[in-house]
Amino acid sequence: MITSSSSPEPIYPIFYSFRRCPYAMRARLAIATAGVDVAIREIELNHKPEAMLAISPKGTVPVLLLANGQVIEQSLDIMLWALAQQDPQDWLGQSPEDAKRLIEWNDGDFKYYLDRYKYADRYPEQSQADYCQQGELFLAELESRLQRTHYLCSNSFGWADAAILPFIRQFAAVDNAWFASAPYPAVQLWLENFLTSKLFAAVMRKYPPWKADDPLVLFGYEAGLVPFI
């Protein structure tokens, strides 16, 4: 918990989020698991608050404003900030270089083809099936890993799992029937276990869109969030 030296009242980092955004989701997963408290401000993408745009003109979530005025605008950096405060499940200790490479693949080539698979009508250069096949290269890598260990980099849920699962959730949702019958049983089980976990239910809690005069709403340890089980 961050507190002011001149006041007994805690000063919480301000966390701008959007519930369905996979980048914001991965940040919420890390914040909840680390057990740190932030003041959450859920936004509407069509009505972004001026307070957020003033500190982060790029206008995307997540954004974290620390008590010292530092602004953290990238989801992975927010994850690392939270886990630097406390990492009770040793997420960062699980093959960190391997996890980093896998996350880079997710955020690079896989996200590129995920967007085109999801919105194929906007990208007529290839068919939706072609974009899906490109995305499957990543799924095949995940399947190979999950056939050997329960999670991507070890037998425990970790940083790579939290950073990547929100995007696999999006990929599966494009065509649930296809995904359910695709030859990736370990990936399917991994995703299902995540979607039915207490951690996922907690971080997907609904919050009303934030307004400037709203009272503080805590997200994190004091909000009663739980580890992945």
Q: Is residue 1 part of a domain?
A: no
Q: Is residue 164 part of a domain?
A: yes
Which secondary-structure segment (H or E) carries 2?
none
- Tell me, yes or no, whether 101 and 170 share the same domain: yes
Average pLDDT score over residue span 138-152: 97
CB contact set of 30 (below 8 Å; sequence gap of 6+): 78, 79, 80, 82, 83, 91, 159, 162
Q: Is residue 125 part of a domain?
A: yes
Q: What is the pLDDT of residue 94?
A: 86
- Tell me, yes or no, whether 124 and 173 share the same domain: yes
pLDDT tens column, 196-212: 999 999 999 999 999 99
Q: What percent of the chain has pLDDT over 90?
A: 89
- CATH code for position 176: 1.20.1050.10
Q: Is residue 149 part of a domain?
A: yes
pLDDT tens column, 18-34: 999 999 999 999 999 99
- Tell me, yes or no, whether 98 and 125 share the same domain: yes
- CATH code for position 42: 3.40.30.10
- Tell me, yes or no, whether 18 and 60 share the same domain: yes
Q: Is residue 214 part of a domain?
A: yes
- Tell me, yes or no, whether 127 and 64 share the same domain: no
Statement: residue 221 has pLDDT above 70:
no
Statement: residue 82 has pLDDT above 50:
yes
- Tell me, yes or no, whether 40 and 82 share the same domain: yes
Distance CA 78, CA 96 (A): 16
Q: What is the pLDDT of residue 220?
A: 75
Average pLDDT score over residue span 148-171: 97
> Total domain count for the chain?
2
- Tell me, yes or no, whether 101 and 122 share the same domain: yes
Statement: residue 10 has pLDDT above 90:
no
Residue range(s) defining the domain that contains residue 76: 14-89+200-223
- Tell me, yes or no, whether 97 and 183 share the same domain: yes
Q: What is the pLDDT of residue 229?
A: 55
Statement: residue 2 has pLDDT above 60:
no
Give the chain's mean pLDDT: 92
Q: What is the pLDDT of residue 9?
A: 60
- Tell me, yes or no, whether 190 and 216 share the same domain: no
Q: Of 65, 88, 89, 83, which is closest to residue 15 (Cα–Cα)? A: 65
Average pLDDT score over residue span 51-57: 97
